Amino acid sequence: MPSTDAELKKAGLKVTSPRIKILDILKKPEHQHVSAEDVYRILIEQEDEVGLATVYRVLNQFDDAGIVTRHHFEGGRSVFELSAKKHHDHLVCLTCGRVIEFEDEVIERRQLEVAQANQIELTNHSLYLYGECKNADNCEYNTEDANPGRFGV
Amino acid sequence: MPSTDAELKKAGLKVTSPRIKILDILKKPEHQHVSAEDVYRILIEQEDEVGLATVYRVLNQFDDAGIVTRHHFEGGRSVFELSAKKHHDHLVCLTCGRVIEFEDEVIERRQLEVAQANQIELTNHSLYLYGECKNADNCEYNTEDANPGRFGV
DNA sequence: TTTGGTGCAAACGATTTGCAATTCT
DNA sequence: AGAATTGCAAATCGTTTGCACCAAA
């Protein structure tokens, strides 16, 4: 895996302090799905002074460069995620906000067939499943990771 | 099918002129997927004076009442559609903005299985397929219905 | 040095809200 | 009458931009 610096260079982006910090944040497993405001808040919490506008700009550049993928969850705001090596969809718990990634061959194949049947050349798709954890134990609600209401319906 | 008036009453909403006009617009087949601004524009075109704020309020009330379903297509703004008698997903042409509704048993079933496997009680889901019409002929781009860029990536 | 990047504040587009005037029941 | 609804303008929210200043190559 290339270093953060190398990744930025490869994307044709100058290696700057804000970009390094933001990319490093996105790389942390606990920050798999964050909004621009989330990133901004995290930066402030770790005492790094980066303007909100810069966060938006950098995130957009990362999106353009293919470093991150932008998602439109219910609720309006954009959520970013490090571009996965592998395609996957999302299962979101509406109670605790936990996001589970999954991939289903059958669904993927059917999507292509549906598009085909309608004479459409599929360029991309988005599938989100929303639900609630069956056992309170599984549910991360009340956990420090919990972000209740964030994906509220 | 109940009259517009009856539907509003059943939803516990007072029968007012703006609500009747908006619901009637939503019922037209050519307005299956419209944004609040779309509705507002249509109202003005047909010489009906209704405030934009009212359009938003009414659309939200309809959503709460289950009369319409709100969608979050790529691009930010919300698109509303008369609640379907039958569940379906969407296939969107990014070139002409045309929206094709479809339903696929296999996909539906797999979704439930995926949720089940992850101990999540599925409450709802959203699946959007984005692509481009294969033949320029099929593509409604340049048609009066066309709304290019509206769903642009 | 030269080109691109950054912060800040103002600008934006979509949507919501406070409030006084108006309309259903 | 009395409660719900509307219009308008001001307020929000998430996001983008103009511009003077600063930093990487």
pLDDT in tens, A35-77: 999 999 999 999 999 999 999 999 999 999 999 999 887 667 8
DSSP assignment string, chain B: ---HHHHHHHTT----HHHHHHHHHHHSGGGSSB-HHHHHHHHHHTT----HHHHHHHHHHHHHTTSEEEEE-TTS-EEEEEPPSS--EEEEETTT--EEEE--HHHHHHHHHHHHHTTEEEEEEEEEEEEEESSTTT--TTSTT--TTTT--
Whether A43 and A90 share a structural domain: no
Whether B75 and B93 share a structural domain: no
Residue B134: the pLDDT is 77
Q: How many CB atoms lie within 10 A of CB A77?
A: 13
Residue that finishes a domain, picked among B40, B68, B83? B83
Residue B150: the pLDDT is 39
Express each pLDDT in B36-56 by its tens digit: 999 999 999 999 999 999 999
From the candidates B69, B120, B127, B134, which should be mutated to test the interface with A, based on the most A CB atoms within 10 A? B120
Whether B18 and B71 share a structural domain: yes
Percent of chain A with pLDDT strictly greater than 70: 82
Which pTM does this prediction carry?
0.66
Whether A76 and A124 share a structural domain: no
Q: How many CB atoms lie within 10 A of CB A100?
A: 19
CATH (domain of B22): 1.10.10.10
Question: Would you call A72 an interface residue with chain B, using a CB distance cutoff of 8 Å?
Answer: yes
* Facing A106 at nearest CB: one of B94, B106, B129: B106
Please report whether residue B145 resides in a domain. no
Whether A100 and A65 share a structural domain: no
Chain B hits for A153, Cβ within 8 Å: 123-124
Whether A97 and A78 share a structural domain: no
Residues A123, B115: C-beta atoms closer than 8 Å = no
More confident: B53 or B138: B53
Please report whether residue A150 resides in a domain. no
Please report whether residue B37 resides in a domain. yes
Residue A144: the pLDDT is 37
CA distances from residue B129 to A12, A74, B1, B26, B101 in whole angstroms, order as listed: 31, 16, 31, 23, 10
Whether B7 and B56 share a structural domain: yes
Residue B148: the pLDDT is 37
Question: Would you call A118 an interface residue with chain B, using a CB distance cutoff of 8 Å?
Answer: yes
CATH (domain of B104): 3.30.1490.190
Residue A2: the pLDDT is 66
Q: How many CB atoms lie within 10 A of CB B37?
A: 13
Please report whether residue A148 resides in a domain. no
Whether B3 and B73 share a structural domain: yes
Residue B99: the pLDDT is 82
Residue that finishes a domain, picked among A83, A101, A125? A83
* pLDDT for A121 beyond 60: yes
- A71 has which bridge partners? A79
Please report whether residue A126 resides in a domain. yes
pLDDT band per the 50, 70, 90 thresholds, residue A139? low
Whether B132 and B70 share a structural domain: no
Pairing of strands A120-133, A89-93: parallel
Please report whether residue A92 resides in a domain. yes
Please check whether residue A136 is in contact with residue B107, taking contact to mean a CB–CB distance below 8 angstroms: no
Residue B90: the pLDDT is 87
Is A93 marked as a binding-site residue?
yes
Per the rule left: phi > 0, alpha: psi between -120 and 50, beta: everything else, A142 is: left
* pLDDT for A115 beyond 50: yes
**CA A72 distance to own-chain centroid:** 9
The protein side of the strand C contact, defined by CB less than 7 Å from any of its atoms, consists of A 13-14, 16-19, 49-54, 57-58; B 9, 14-17, 35-37, 52-53, 56-57, 60, 76-78
Whether B50 and B121 share a structural domain: no
Please report whether residue A60 resides in a domain. yes
Residue that finishes a domain, picked among A39, A65, A83? A83
Structural domain count of chain A = 2
Express each pLDDT in B64-121 by its tens digit: 999 999 888 766 788 999 986 678 888 888 776 678 889 899 999 999 999 999 988 8
Question: What is the domain range of residue A115?
Answer: 86-136
Please check whether residue B71 is in contact with residue B126, taking contact to mean a CB–CB distance below 8 angstroms: yes
Å separating the CA of residue B29 from the C1' of nucleotide D5: 28
Residue B126: the pLDDT is 85
Express each pLDDT in A88-100 by its tens digit: 888 888 777 678 8
Is B87 marked as a binding-site residue?
yes
Residues A121, B132: C-beta atoms closer than 8 Å = yes
* pLDDT for B13 beyond 90: yes
Please report whether residue A99 resides in a domain. yes
Whether A8 and A44 share a structural domain: yes
Whether A46 and A114 share a structural domain: no
In chain A, the N- to C-terminal Cα span, in Å, equals: 38
